[in-house]
Amino acid sequence: MNILFYMASIVAVIATLMVILEFNPVHALLYLIVSLLSLAVIFFLLGAPFAAALEVIIYAGAIMVLFVFVVMMLNLGPRSADEERSWHPARVWFGPFLLSAALLAELLFVLRGGGGAGFGEVSPEEVGIALFGPYLLATELASMLLLSGLIGAYHLGRGYGEARRHEPGPVEESTP
């Protein structure tokens, strides 16, 4: 179990560093999802399968939806087609694929009975009591962080859209 824990931790650290260092937002999102999935593996190895499921469903899913929403809100239009073509080479997908393959191998090993802590069932009621009991401040801070990110994305998208409206477009011929 220690080896799997350290492997998942290394994958999480590398993926998180790539999120910070990556210039392309879609590539950074892929690394962020790999990082969140590796945290889910760590939770599972520590005996918290419910927390692992919440990590995958809420964080990886919610972050993906939020990112897609921001991309749609920015509405980059036809000039982003060249950038989208640059996402297709295999070398771009090699890092996230390699890290995801390592996590998948760990997960299959754990599910076959090769590791993992003994765990019991955790009910949603117990999670709710923990989130709104001793961890209330952390829960509220996380919600405020997500709200501030959404507001920032809105303002960035709005400013970008207004700037694009004032750019000179192609000259249209007028008919007499």
What pLDDT, in 10s, does the model give residues 1-47?
Answer: 688 888 888 999 998 888 888 777 777 778 888 888 888 888 888 87
Neighbours of 55 (CB within 10 A): 21
Token pair of 36, please? Answer: 């969140």
Domain count, the chain: 2
CA distances from 123 to 49, 60, 130, 136 (A): 11, 21, 11, 18
Side-chain half-sphere exposure of 167, counting CA atoms within 13 A: 8
Taking Cα atoms as reference points, which of 96, 101, 104 lies closest to residue 30? 96
The model's pTM:
0.51
In angstroms, the CA 129 to CA 122 distance is: 11
Domain range enclosing 113: 2-118
Same domain, 100 and 136: no
Q: Does position 156 have pLDDT exceeding 80, yes or no? A: no
Same domain, 127 and 96: no
